[in-house]
Each structure stands twice: as C-alpha cells, then as structure tokens.
Structure 1
Amino acid sequence: MINVRVLAHRIRRLAVTTVAATAGLALLAACGDSSGTAAAGVAAKPGAAAKSPAIPTEDVVSSVVTDPALKAKLPAGVRRSGTLTLGTTFNPGTAGLPHGGETPDGTKVGLDVDLRNAVAKVLGISWRVQNGTFATVIPGVQNGKYDVGQDNFGVTRAREKVVDFATYLNDGQSFLGSKDIKINKVTGLTDLCGLTVATTPGSTFQQILTDGASKCAAAGKKPYRVQYFADAAPIFLGLANGKVDVMFGPTLGLRYDARQVPDTKYLGEISTTPVGFVTARKSPVAGALSAAVNKLIANGDYAKIFRKWQVPGTGIGKSAVNPPPTF
C-alpha cells in the first residue's frame, strides 16, 4: 500500500510551489498548509499496511576535506567560532525522507543532512542546528536568530527581496501515477485529459491545472478532473484504490517515493525550481556556501550524495547566489 505518512509529508513541506496572495504569504506558507476541503469518497484498501522506506547507510561525508581558501570567504567571527547556526524543521522517523529524518537511535539522516554536513566540512565549520517551523525559518534568518536556513526553500521573487539564496538542488512540479493507468509519461497537461488528478489547494500545482483547464477541449479531448485535498493522505489512498489516477506534486519527493512505494510510477516533470540555503541579504556566508557546493560538485562528492538518496535528475551543475527565480 501507499506509505501515507511519508508521502503526505512531501506535500506539507514543499517550499518551492506555494502560491500566495501577498509577498508575505509567499515567503511563509507551505503549499500543504493551504486551507481547503478534501474531496470525498477516498478510502484505503481493506487490510492494507504501510511500509517504511529503507534508510541508506552509506557514509558520503567523512571523506570530504576542508578547503582553506573557501573557509577564508567566511566572516572572521565565524572562522574564529567555527560554527554557523542553522534553522530547519525537525523530521522524526522516516516521514521526511529523502530530505531529512531520524533513525531510532536519534541520528539525523537525509539528503539535506548529508549536503549541509558536507558543505560544513568544506568550509571547516560545524552547524549549530536549531529547530523551527517552515514558516519561521526565513523570518529567523532575517532577524539574526539563524545564520543560515535550510528547508527545501525554492527561489522566488518574493523571497529574494528579503533573503539571499545559495542553491544546492532542483525541485519542481511532477506527476506520480497509479500503476494501473495507461499512460507512462506526462510531458504536458493534455496527457492528463480524461483522468482524475489530485493536488493541494492554494498551490502552484492548482494554478497550473486551473490555467491549463481549456487545453483538453482545444485538443478535442475529455477534460481532466481535479480533486483538491488540504491533506495529502487521501490522495495516496485514492491512488491505492483507483479513485485517483495521478498526483501532481513535488519532484524530488515523488522521484524518491516512486522507488519506495509499491504500485506507483513516476510520470515525469513539467517544470523545475532551484532550491537553496537562505542567508541574510548581502551576507558573505551565501557566497561561501555556494562555493562549497561547487567544490563538492567538482570533486564528485555531490554526486555520491545524490546517488545515495536515489533522486536522479534533481542535482544541479553549478550552485549560484540568487539565480533568476521561476516564480
């Protein structure tokens, strides 16, 4: 059966796809936090049981070495203390993987965890990790509580007005289908014609589906039907019992869970968004973080991390500070 806890977490956390009525909302709201009424009639298969994903154990960080020239890019105070305060959300168990989770013995694991720890080794510092919520991390960076924020924050025009970004991966908008549907790839919205598509209200996913609603009629096909759920759990139950054909959601999580969750298949991505560490505006820390990511890319350590977490196609070729936003 679909692992409801794991996949529901994806929609709640996706930072890159929020659509907001104001810049403030765009900065603070996660798309799964949007209010809305769940569609009715979705139920789990009798007797079905959830299966937790396996946690990769390969050590991809301890061999990373410090680069003195990149460490020198950090402010003198940071070099003296040897630490940076990082604000992020706490992800117990495996529900937050591949981004982040925790083993039974309390060890923090995940793609984001490996990436930040590798970056810290390149810069010769350690993280002082403090837990906030998705909505409080960026304000915490703005007011100086955190030196750096990390929570799958996508680069948006609104966010670049108040914080700087140092990118480290791509995320975007993708489709996960039930194994029983006839299509195996979605390259455009007309591939969804005649199908039932589920997503969350108040999100970029909703905006894309709404804007494209006339495409099927223009192509002489039946329209796709959209169901909106404030919580992701019924979406995945719907995929399991045939009441939903396709889920429209975040790329990185859907790529990962297509490998972990039985009876689903990844159908492709239609757009991408760069994701990065956030720092205060004009902070030299952003440049140092970006340079450290590029060092990891150049020496192959970056690729090792992405192979470990089985998320092909979500890495970047080069980190940048404040790249042009896509939203």
Structure 2
Amino acid sequence: MSRTSCARRALRPLPVLAVGTALLTSACGGTAATSASSDSDLPAAVAQSGTLRVGMSPDFPPMEYLDEKTHDVVGVDVQLAKALGKQLGVKVEIVQQSFDQLLNSVQTGRVDIVMSGLSDTVERQKTVDFVDYFGSQGRFYTLQAKAAKYTKPGNVCGKTLAVSKKTDYYEQAVDYNKQYCTGAGKSAIKLLPTDSGSAARLQLEQGRADIAVQGGENLAYFEKQDPAKYEPVLAPLESTPFGIVIKKGDSKMSGAILKAMKALVKDGTYTKILAGGGMQYAVIRPVLNGSTG
C-alpha cells in the first residue's frame, strides 16, 4: 500500500479469498494466556471480551498467507500477533479481509488492530496511528541469468523496470531515476507500472521488463520456494517500516500494543520470530508513528 496504501504485495498468486470477511479464531489465538500486562492496559471492550481482533489480508508471504494444506492463515505477522495476544493476556482472532478494506476496518471498529504489511507513512498518520515493528526494505531483483548486468545504480538507467504502482516502491523508483539516471545525465528508467507485485513478476518472466522491485521479505520467501529463479541486485532501497495499525487517537490501545511489543523485544521473542524467517535485517525498535518523511 504505499502503494499509496502499502509497501508490499505478493509475487505469486495465492488462493482467492471468499467475498466478505472470514474469521479464524481457534487456529490463531487459543485460550487467553496469563501475561505481564494487565487488563487495564487495554481498552475496556477488548479487556472485557478477552479477544483481540486482528485484521489481515493473507496474500503476502511470508508475512501472512494461506497454508496450502490447512488453509489456515500463517506467517510472521501471525506469529507476532499470537505473541502479542499472549503478552496482553487475550485471545487473538484473525479477521481475513481484502487488502483495500484493512484501513477502513480499523477506523470503523470492525477490527481492533491491523497487522498486514502496511507501511507507516506521514500521510496515513492523518487518519490512523501506527506502532512500527518491522523494517521492510525494497529490493531490485531480476532473473538469475541477468543478475550479473546489475552491479551499480547506473546499470538500471534505460532499462524497463516493473513495479506495482500501489506500493511505496513506485515512488522510490521515481526518486531513484532522478538521482542516478536523469539527474546524472543518463537515460531514464522506463517505468512499467503494474497492479501488484505478482503482475510485476509476470512482466519480468515474460521478457517485457528487465528488472523489478519487490519487498525483501517476499524475495526471501520465494528464494526458499524456487532458489534458482530470481536474484536480488544492487543495494536495498530506503527502509520503510511496517506498522501495527490502530484507530487514530486510541491512546489506550496504542499504549498497550507498544508496551507489549517492547516486552517481546526484551524477552527475545520478537527477534526469534524474525530471525526464524531469515529477516534479521527487519529488526527495529518499536515506536509510535515513527515515520517522519
């Protein structure tokens, strides 16, 4: 989407969600656990229900996606959400939604928080609050057979670059072009905007693009699925933090989530989960509304 909504999208098509909202309670929460946080940390409605409703769009591996065998929602965000629930002493209910519904759902109270690869941006902070928890970074990548052609920024100039126009990466590609290509007297990058990361990948595979941009977390996942296909090249783009989305001005909820995240950092749970997914680069200090530019 930022994408003007979030800096992410999956490279590979995944099972289409049924229209509407699906609830997965037992698989993602279990019973309420004893924790270091008291009920008074949470908004009254959540404390009384004993359930934290977490909105997710499970089409973004390895952060959240549907297990092909069980059809349960799994991934890094699911693990973190479960850990948050345990720390807060509540059950976690994963609410499946389309990506475009997520922000509105937290604003209207259909979910309590959202964890779904959403980037914390200054623009979004006007309508929601964020507890930043994941240092995402965009990566240029290409087919392995072409990777040796890209060793310095200027190698991208004049090439066709596929990137989802709905992500932060699109604007980053525009800035990259100004800095290293047109601003340096070289041929402009030929931007090929797509509707998703998977569509950008298709352009690359079919030879209509020379190179593409995708989240490093996606590439780590697909490297495990097909080690001989893609290759990240060049330096990572500037890190854009993913944030846990909270209704604007709900200081009770944001305070509870921030406190719980800091506790997960302190006891090692947070780093263990990210390291288990090969994403040590994404470890950051949890903060409230950390993006300033």
TM over 0.5: yes
**8 Å contact from structure 1 (residues 176, 258) kept in 2:** no
The match for 1:245 is: 210
User: How far 1:159 moved relative to its partner?
Assistant: 1.7
1:51 offset after TM fit, Å? 12
Which of residues 246, 249, 259 in structure 2 aligns to 1:282? 249
Does 2:87 align with 1:102?
no
Q: CA RMSD in A?
A: 3.1
CA distance in 2, matches of 1:218, 1:310: 35
Secondary structure of the structure 2 residue equivalent to 1:139: helix
The CA deviation string for residues 245-304 of structure 1, in whole angstroms up to 9 with x for no partner, is: 311222322333244332211224111111111112232111111121111112111122
Asked whether the equivalents of residues 258 and 266 of structure 1 are also in contact (C-alpha less than 8 Å), the reply is: no
Gaps of 5+ in 2: 15-28
TM-score by length of 1: 0.71
Question: TM-score, with normalisation over the residues of structure 2?
Answer: 0.78
AA partner of residue 286 (structure 2): S
1:320 counterpart residue number: 287
Contact 1:87/1:150 (<8 A) preserved: yes
Q: What amino acid is aligned across from residue 170 of structure 2 in structure 1?
A: Q
Q: 1:141 maps to what in 2?
A: 106
| Pick aligned residue for 1:78 from 36, 46, 53 | 46
Any gaps of 5 or more consecutive residues in structure 1? 1-14, 20-25, 33-49, 53-60
Identity of aligned residues (%): 24
Is residue 162–residue 201 contact of structure 2 (8 Å, CA) maintained in 1?
Answer: no
User: Structure 2 vs 1, CA of residues 280 and 220 (structure 1 numbering), >3 Å: closer, same or farther?
Assistant: closer
Kindly indicate whether residue 210 of structure 2 is the aligned counterpart of residue 270 of structure 1.
no
Alignment-mate amino acid for residue 173 of structure 2: L
Question: C-alpha distance in 1, partners of 2:36/2:119?
Answer: 29
Partner of 2:274: 306
Letter in 1 for 2:171: Q
Q: What's the secondary structure of 1:313's corresponding residue?
A: helix
- 1:1-327 matched pairs, under 5 angstroms: 15=1, 17-19=2-4, 66-69=34-37, 71-89=39-57, 91=58, 96-103=60-67, 104-181=69-146, 182-183=148-149, 188=153, 190-201=154-165, 203-214=167-178, 215-217=180-182, 219=184, 221-240=186-205, 242-261=207-226, 262-267=228-233, 268-283=235-250, 284-316=252-284, 318-326=285-293
Check the 8 A contact 2:141/2:231 in 1, yes or no. yes
Aligned 8 A contact 1:86 1:127 in 2: yes
Count, aligned residues: 269
CA distance in 1, matches of 2:42, 2:166: 39
* Whole-angstrom CA distance in 1 between matches of 2:277 and 2:230: 18
1:18 partner SS: coil
Contact 1:70 1:288 in 2 (8 A): no
Task: Quote the residue 1:42 is aligned against.
Answer: none
**1:323 counterpart letter in structure 2:** G
> In the TM superposition, what is the alpha-carbon distance from 1:183 to its structure 2 partner?
4.2
Contact kept? 1:194, 1:225, Cα under 8 Å: yes
Q: Please, which moves more after superposition, 258-267 or 223-232?
A: 223-232
DSSP-derived class of the 1:157 partner: coil
Please give the per-residue CA displacement for 1:147-197, whole angstroms capped at 9, x wherever unaligned.
Answer: 1122211111222122211122122322112212224556x4x34124332
Q: 1:322 to 1:202 in 2, by over 3 A?
A: closer
Alpha-carbon distance, 1:201 to partner: 3.3
Give me the whole-angstrom Cα distance separating, in 2, the residues matched to 1:210 and 1:101: 29
In 2, Cα distance between equivalents of 1:111 and 1:31: 14
Q: Distance in 2 between matches of 1:115 and 1:31?
A: 18
Q: Which residue of 2 aligns with 1:6?
A: none
Distance 1:298 1:139 in 2: 32
Question: Residue 276 and residue 128 in structure 1: after superposition, are their counterparts in 2 closer, same or farther (change >3 A)?
Answer: same
Conserved 8 A contact 1:166-1:321:
yes
